Chain A
């Protein structure tokens, strides 16, 4: 059961990573980041079956932080859209050196 769960978690994580690396829409990238977080949550839950309940406690922490992060992140994206009229990250390079 553990192996399957971890495999599934890894697949989800890789999908998230590939999404972050390949997509340009900020909202989709944001969703891919969420996907990576939830893949990690899945791994925590799976490990909790073996190593004790601490993994499940961590999952709650992660979910709380992810919620806060979603609020701040979406707010930034909205502010960015108001400023640039786009959410395409290739057209946003304000920190170019």
Chain B
């Protein structure tokens, strides 16, 4: 704390000097404090539990539970709320956990207010606290940076984070690991804030790794079930592949530009050759990091499995904040990506392919959280299309609105799972509380969740005037405009003309939008409409969640409905036009203009209306398809469902990508590790030749020496004489 307060070098002339922005360090420190308190409570509480451990009494209280759990199988399946034994420190945790986030959000809001009132700010506000690393030419400061981009992320992380923390109080209160849960959640927010506030790549990387750690800890929160622990490991290991790319990119940046500080790099990058191999390589390695963290092809496979964690975790980490870190990284590195049309086109293509690929899988999932997981992958693809084509503002805009409506969708699904789980708990049933085939007709029992989920669904489907319409339209419009005229359109990607690639991205984006509308409406129909399939006994116990859970839902619902006002398009000027775009201009404006030949893109209003009309029509068609083709009456609960046939089966099994990865990568790796690395190198070479071999050598040599020591003086005398004769002979003969 003392170190943090030593402002070694504060830009005293910066307009923000002396304002609340000086307290920027407190924003990440607050969640860290929450982590320490909750972590202490967790450790202290666990040490006292002993034989009265609630998880032990739970097993005794519900005989046969374990066997039922094993029978469910399948990665990603879990039951929330295993016990009703409340942790002894639950009350303190309920106060500490969310309040640190609320205070952090209020502080961020005050900083935002000061920032706005300080007029046009072009330079970032950097606070250096201490020198973290100083070796040779490399100096890394522990420094936080506040600019327009990090401020947007700051507000999203603390704001949405605070709402999800409050929701968690209701959702997780009865879990025996309650303080541990909040400790991890607080720690996650701390690292996420470090990620978005870091003033250089290494500080950002610490946050990047930290959120990965917390993601691992929270996916495997109910680690006693092996499937959950495996899902956590999968997320961690897949992310390592991406982090390798991030590290290589950092090394290349330092080797060629001599610094890792964002502000210095922005200036140094101007010396790089546009479209050169070096900047392209750096950008592609950075993007490899993004594909890991933000779940893009080919490293998206961990995110659907990550649904094994508690539902608020899915909302916070695996939808609203952490998985968008890749988008933030590209926006933050826009000064590099705008120099490399090839890398930018790669980002856009991978994003578009991921968007449509994940959307098709989402069409056929039965687990409500899996639908949302693939939807998240798909929407992240959209964001990458946005930042890929150089529409950094549009990408960040979609990031913000997506944080609103996807957090709402996840929390809403959490509310549904909570209700079903409670009903199953009352009736001692062990059905799957997340399978949509076991739901149906919930609108009669959970009206608030029902209405709010529809708002979010309309938002993600791109129906005006909800938030997703504006952001998605902005991205698609940007792709279309840049396909006509930009450095990307002039470049070629794998021999294909850039403009053709971008038009293809646009069409793929429209197709993904259609499928988004279909699968989201499908989810709503199966969950809330049609007849109820929960069973007679359970039906009586279905009820709306308590206010502590519905409250955050309402707040997110309002944000999902009006979030589009952040960045209204010109043709729909219901308020200030393009606020967010204008706001981000000091950070990404230079890069955006570089891609569009130095002047803002102009599309004729008639074309623009046609594009918007097409997008809205596609959303409407998608919703109409879902309503006309799906028959919730024909659905049967999971246990009596027939297996799927044909292509639907391929979709239900996610194109067998997990199986393919298993066969192509995981199994060969296992086989290599076992046969070559373990049995060959470790047991054979290291243990056999090196360790035991040196022992055998010493033993053999010793045996020889011991044989010489016969104890017979005569023998010694013979050896002596022969030695003397040999020496004399050698000396005389020469």
Contact = CB atoms under 8 A, between A and B. Distances in A.
Contacts of A50: none
Nearest to B713: A89
Contact of A97 (B706, B714, B721): B706
A94 B709 CA distance: 10
A96 B707 CA distance: 8
A93 B717 contact: no
Contacts of B721: 17, 21
B717 A94 contact: no
A37 interface: no
Given A17-B721, A21-B721, A89 B706 contact: no
Contacts of A92: 711, 713
Given A21-B718, A21-B721, A97 B708 contact: yes
A24 B715 CA distance: 11
B717 A96 contact: no
B712 A90 contact: yes
A95 interface: yes
Given A17-B721, A21-B718, A21-B721, A97 B709 contact: yes
Contacts of A94: 711
Contacts of A24: 714
Chain B contact residues: over half helix, strand or loop, or mixed?
helix
Given A17-B721, A21-B721, A96 B714 contact: no
Contacts of B714: 21, 24, 89-90
A24 B717 CA distance: 12
A14 B725 CA distance: 12
B135 interface: no
Contacts of A21: 714, 717-718, 721
B206 to A, nearest CB: 61
Contacts of A29: 713
B269 to A, nearest CB: 73
A20 B713 CA distance: 10
Nearest to A22: B714
Interface string B671-708: 00000000000000000000000000000000001111
B710 interface: yes
Contacts of B718: 21
Contacts of B705: 97
Contacts of B708: 97
Interface residues of B, number: 13
A29 B721 CA distance: 15
B717 A97 contact: no
B712 A93 contact: yes
Given A17-B721, A21-B718, A21-B721, A96 B709 contact: yes
A95 B711 CA distance: 5
A92 B716 CA distance: 13
A28 B711 CA distance: 19
B640 to A, nearest CB: 82
Interface residues on A, range: 10 to 19
Contacts of A20: 717
A11 to B, nearest CB: 16
B713 to A, nearest CB: 5
Nearest to A33: B717
Interface string A1-41: 00000000000000001001100100001000000000000
A92 B712 CA distance: 7
Contacts of B707: 97
Contacts of A96: 709-711
Residue with the greatest number of chain A CB neighbours at <10 A, chosen from B707, B713, B718: B713
Residue with the greatest number of chain B CB neighbours at <10 A, chosen from A24, A92, A95: A95
B727 to A, nearest CB: 15
B576 to A, nearest CB: 97
Nearest to B718: A21
Nearest to B725: A17
Contacts of A95: 709, 711
Nearest to B716: A95
Interface string B341-370: 000000000000000000000000000000
A94 B706 CA distance: 13
A93 B711 CA distance: 4
Interface in B466-492: none
Interface string A69-97: 00000000000000000000110111111
B660 to A, nearest CB: 64
A92 B705 CA distance: 19
Contacts of B709: 95-97
B431 to A, nearest CB: 78
B248 to A, nearest CB: 58
A18 B732 CA distance: 22
B115 to A, nearest CB: 85
Nearest to B714: A89
Nearest to A94: B711
A94 B710 CA distance: 9
A95 B713 CA distance: 9
Contacts of A17: 721
A43 B225 CA distance: 95
Nearest to A20: B717
Nearest to A93: B711
B722 to A, nearest CB: 10
A21 B721 CA distance: 9
A38 B705 CA distance: 35
Interface in B563-580: none
B731 to A, nearest CB: 17
A90 B711 CA distance: 9
Contacts of B717: 20-21
Interface string A45-80: 000000000000000000000000000000000000
A17 B725 CA distance: 12
Contacts of B712: 89-90, 93
Contacts of B710: 93, 96-97
A24 B714 CA distance: 8
A94 B713 CA distance: 10
Contacts of A93: 710-712
A39 to B, nearest CB: 15
A24 B721 CA distance: 17
Nearest to A18: B721
A20 B714 CA distance: 8
A36 to B, nearest CB: 11
Given A21-B714, A92-B713, 19 more contacts: A20-B717, A21-B718, A29-B713, A89-B712, A90-B712, A90-B714, A92-B711, A93-B711, A93-B712, A94-B711, A95-B709, A95-B711, A96-B709, A96-B711, A97-B705, A97-B706, A97-B707, A97-B708, A97-B709
16 contacts: A17-B721, A20-B717, A21-B714, A21-B717, A24-B714, A29-B713, A89-B713, A89-B714, A90-B714, A93-B711, A94-B711, A95-B709, A96-B711, A97-B706, A97-B709, A97-B711
The 5 closest A-B pairs by CB, nearest first: A97-B709, A93-B711, A96-B711, A97-B706, A95-B711
Interface of B: 705-714, 717-718, 721
